[in-house]
Structure formats: structure tokens, C-alpha cells
Amino acid sequence: MINLHKYRRFVMIIFMVIIIAAFLTLAAIWNSLLTAGDVRNEGWIIVFLLILVAASIALFYFSFKLSDPVAFQQNVDNLVAAEKEKLKKKMEEKKSQEKEMLTEEMNVKEKIDQIVAGLQSVKTIDSFANKVLMNISKQVEIVRGIFFFRGNKEESFACKGEYALAGNKPAPFKMGENLTGQVAKNKTLTTIHEIPDDYFRIESGLGGALPKHLIIFPLVCNNETVAVIELATFKKIDAAQVNILNTLISDLGERLNKFVSAKL
């Protein structure tokens, strides 16, 4: 509870200062009257000053008497309660955000486990690449997938796995060459929307359907790009799927590096 009595003491002190100042002013004017002898104007000044003092006393009396310490304290309590409620809401929002982040992390881990499932049993790099693309297709609605791999002493990335790829395999490329080579060089996921019609064509039972979205991401281990995956979709992937693919950059890159090292 706030002690309101100390504020009354401050008011009393200020009021006493006003009274003393007023009386000193009256004394000075009265002295001037006695020495000058002309009271026509100074007399009215004294009257106005007396009125001012009386008004100040009345104002102080009514403000002091009519002030409600209980209501004032209630207002203070309401303000404190409102601030506490704001702080409580912020803490609840923070907890909710942390819970959502934890749930998202668990979902990502679950999806990653599903994508890497079965990789322990594969024997060749081609089987590794095809298995990865098949598992990704179960998490992301892709209509085409290509897995490009670069060996330890090789300069070019070659196609080692494909999903729903019609016709010949894409030609090998070097780091920095074409769009996929730029992704390998930059080591970051890239999404492209509204792909040109001549980029590729999907052959399927639905006819010559053309996907409009392309996702290319590298697989990185020890700051080196060891593979690049290219995915084509009809629909734009959402933020959760992007998060999964971004996690695969390092996770799958390390798994691939261990797989290759074990085969040497």
C-alpha cells in the first residue's frame, strides 16, 4: 500500500510557503504605502492579494477535504494489476512459442528419421541416392527428383539417383556451372517458382504435365558439397517442408560421407 500521508505533508509545506510569500508581499506593499502616501492604487493591490490568499486557502481546503485516498489507492492498485496481467500474458505467449518450437523440432526429427530410414541396408551409392529420393517423395509431393553426387577426387557432379525421370539422365556439371552447380557452390537451399516450360517435361499417365516449382539443395559435410538434390513439384512447398530440407543439408551430408568412407 502507498503511504498517502507523506504527500499531504508535502502539500502542507507548499501551502505554508505560499502563505509566507503572500504575507511578505503584503508587508512590502504596506511599507510602500506608508512611505509614499498614495493609497489609491496600492489599496486595490492589497485587496486583490487578500482575495488571492483567501482563494488559495479555499482551494486547498476543498482539494484536501474532497480528495479520496481510498479511490487514489484503488487506481494505483488497478494500474499495478494491469501491468501484472500484461506480464502474465507475455510469459504465457513465450511459453506457447517455446512449446510450438519444441513440437516443430520433434516433427522435423521424426520426418528426418523417416527419410533416412533404410539407408543402413543399401550397398551402392546409386541405391543410397534412389532410397533418399523415394523417402523424400513420401514427405514432399514431388513429381521429379534427381540426386547428383561428386566423388572424392572427381570435379563433376553426376546423376546417381532419379525419381520419375523420363528419358536420358542429365549431363554431369562442375561446381558453379548452371543453376544446380551454383547451389553446390553456395551451399544453400534455393527455390524457384514459375519454371520455364523448356526446363524439363514430366512424362506420366496424366500426360505432359509441367511442374512450376523447383527446389535445389546441397548435401554438405565438413564445409564441402558432396551431393546436390533437385526436386520438382506442382505445389509450392510450405515452411515446415523447407525446414526439413534445410536440416537434410548437413544431416544427410554427414550420412552420405560416412557411407562413402565405409565403402573405400
Q: How confident is the model at residue 207 (pLDDT cuts 50, 70, 90)?
A: low
pLDDT score, position 100: 85
Rounded Cα distance between 168 and 133, Å, is 18
In 3D space, the residue among 120, 189, 185 whose CA is nearest the CA of residue 155 turns out to be 185
pLDDT at residue 198 greater than cutoff 90: no
Percent of the chain clearing pLDDT 70 (strictly above):
67
C-alpha cell at 13: 509545506
pLDDT at residue 170 greater than cutoff 80: yes
Mean pLDDT to the nearest integer, 92-111: 87
| Residue of 219 and 57 predicted with greater confidence | 219
133 neighbors 162 (Cβ within 8 angstroms): yes
pLDDT score, position 160: 95
Mean pLDDT to the nearest integer, 211-224: 94
pLDDT score, position 10: 56
pLDDT score, position 1: 46
**Of 90-104, 173-187, 188-202, where does mean pLDDT reach its minimum?**
188-202
The β-bridge relationship of strands 224-233 and 142-149 is antiparallel
Neighbours of 245 (CB within 10 A): 22
pLDDT score, position 164: 87
Mean of the per-residue pLDDT values of the chain: 80
**Helices 125-139 and 239-263 sit at what angle, rounded to 10 degrees?**
160
Highest mean pLDDT among 37-46, 64-73, 112-121: 112-121
Task: Give the contacts of 116 (CB within 8 A, at least 6 positions apart).
Answer: 132, 135, 251, 252, 255
Mean pLDDT to the nearest integer, 130-135: 96
